[in-house]
Chain A
Amino acid sequence: MDPQLYNYWLVILLMMTGLYALIARGNLIRKIIGLNIFQVSVFILYISAGFIREGAAPILSPNVDVYSNPLPHVLILTAIVVSVATTALGLALVIRIKAAFGSIDDDTLSYSSGDSATELSIKTQKSSQ
């Protein structure tokens, strides 16, 4: 197999790992870790696409003709910033959730009275009939 494709296999592996952690784990911190792994897989996808066979690092130099594509790196730099911000916000929320609920296990967390929508349900319609 073309060794260049290993990167993409890694992307898929990381993506699945991340999504699995995101869905299967109840612990909110682990969810955030899963989210990060998931996002990192996409970063690698972009960066791998920037690679050009026999391309040099994209620094202008008189004796190089082929450069790797620098644009994906720049894009991913932005995406990493976004990802870090998301992680920071997520972690801040987890701290607050821990303080409010005393737990960070998603399976034990629920809205005030069970389901969000049935909260405060007073039978206005039924009682008046």
Chain B
Amino acid sequence: MDALSGLGLILSTPFIGASLMILVRRAPVLRDAVTMITSVSLFILVAMLPSNSDGAVFVLAEPISGLPISFGTEPFGKLFAFIASGLWIVTSIYSIGYLGQKTDPNKTRYFVCFALSLGSTMGIAFAANLFTLFIFYEALTLVTYPLVAHYGTPESRNGARKYLQILLGSSIALFVPGIIIVYLFAGTLDFQEGGVLNGKLDPAFTIPLLLMFLYGVAKSAVMPVHSWLPSAMVAPAPVSALLHAVAVVKAGVFTITKIIAFIFGWEMLASSPGANLPLYIAGFTVIAASVHALQQDNIKSMLAYSTIAQLSYVVMAASLFLPIGGLAAALHIAAHAVAKITLFFVAGAIYLKSGYTLISQLNGIGRNMPLTLLAFTIAAASMIGLPPTAGFFSKWFLLQAAFTTESYFTVGVITISTALNAAYFLPILYRAFFKAPNEDQKSFGEAPWPVLAALLFTAALSITFLAYGNAIMELEAPIFGSIFNKYD
């Protein structure tokens, strides 16, 4: 398939799907069918798309002359789009099962907004310049707001308001001026290998400008602009799973990595004064968020803090300012996506069957829902980084990149955080499988089949990483180089 027409199809599919859903809103079965068809066709289209459009762009509009909304593909964006669209299928199945039992008047809005947020994610993944990426970044914030506020209770409205205000506020306060400064200095916002700012900006301003982006792109949840993520946990479980473990947060770290690699360029950043600062900020976030996670009793809050920590892994990887770091970032985006979505699916399944939201309520739950907890175990192992799960491989490459630059700070952070990860995941497993159930515990079984199938599938993805990890590396090789080059 031709890259540009493919891009056109990919970007329009979610919007066509959303419109169809509105049209058939009175027929729930049809609406669910449209969701499934849209997600599957989006995935197929992304899979068929050539991984590199070689600078050819698909121009949609030109809001400001000289700054078109244009799209192109490159391997990193394709990987992100591939993960997001693939997991959308799984999440759609899960959503149908999860929301299916209740009569919820907002269900159509839910599926429509979900399709729109995937559309925005595709826009982010295939943006050919920073301006386009920014537009879809903002769109993603706005279309996910109704999803976060889905239940409409005062609590969820407050959480959603915080979510919106932090994401929108930080992007307007820092992201927009950052873009304008880049545009004024570089004269272009196109993503180019080696960066567009190289040699055009006083080295002393390089790292401050990068920090503007780091905090302006609050979706990457670097402390202290992370607090929207725990607030967003008022959303229904599938929303947390796809958006707050995959699409939204990954859009944040994806943006940061793209800015580092294609706006600034690796070499320019590595030689700038204060080049270690982003690394320290991300490292601090990893440790602080892990400690926070340790203190949470609410399952979803714990997972939220764990997500914050894992996102900063990606930021750390990119902040090594090395192509190998970029590769590690790409791998970790993939590995963390499949593991964290499983964990959120499990939390949702437990809530659906038992109404439990606290870790302290989980005693003996492994006897009621053995398959669900098996999936949880696999995903937790991946979070900790045990072989042969996906998390092990991504951490491996992250460490390798850290050793290449002799960044022992990174190595230390990874070591400590691995211990912390184990410290907050293992007690849950112990509780679930070995403790006697609470006395008031009702008896219940596994979640409905769509929910169970979805979470088992994503758990399986975590342990079969070896089967496709190599494919990811080959895909990314043109832009981040091969990990083995160094030893050849």
Contacts and interface: CB of A to CB of B under 8 A. Distances in A.
A128 B157 CA distance: 8
A129 interface: yes
Interface string A96-129: 0000000000000000000000000000000011
Dominant SS at the B interface? helix
A124 to B, nearest CB: 11
Contacts of B157: 128
B154 interface: yes
Interface in B204-224: none
Interface residues of B, number: 3
Contacts of A128: 154, 157-158
A82 B158 CA distance: 54
A129 B158 CA distance: 7
Nearest to B153: A128
B323 to A, nearest CB: 48
Interface residues of A, number: 2
Contacts of B154: 128-129
Nearest to A129: B158
Contacts of B158: 128-129
Nearest to B158: A129
Nearest to A127: B154
A129 B155 CA distance: 7
B161 to A, nearest CB: 9
Interface string A4-20: 00000000000000000
A129 B157 CA distance: 9
Interface string B149-175: 000001001100000000000000000
Interface string B172-201: 000000000000000000000000000000
A128 B154 CA distance: 6
A129 B161 CA distance: 11
B380 to A, nearest CB: 35
A1 to B, nearest CB: 59
A128 B149 CA distance: 13
A47 B154 CA distance: 68
A128 B153 CA distance: 9
Interface string B276-315: 0000000000000000000000000000000000000000
B331 to A, nearest CB: 42
A125 to B, nearest CB: 9
Contacts of A129: 154, 158
B221 to A, nearest CB: 24
A118 B154 CA distance: 24
A55 B154 CA distance: 80
A5 to B, nearest CB: 56
Interface string B128-164: 0000000000000000000000000010011000000
B355 to A, nearest CB: 24
B164 to A, nearest CB: 14
Nearest to B157: A128
Nearest to A128: B154
A129 B156 CA distance: 10
A41 B157 CA distance: 60
A123 to B, nearest CB: 13
A2 to B, nearest CB: 58
5 contacts: A128-B154, A128-B157, A128-B158, A129-B154, A129-B158
Interface of A: 128-129
A-B pairs, top 5 by smallest CB distance, nearest first, are A128-B154, A129-B158, A128-B157, A128-B158, A129-B154
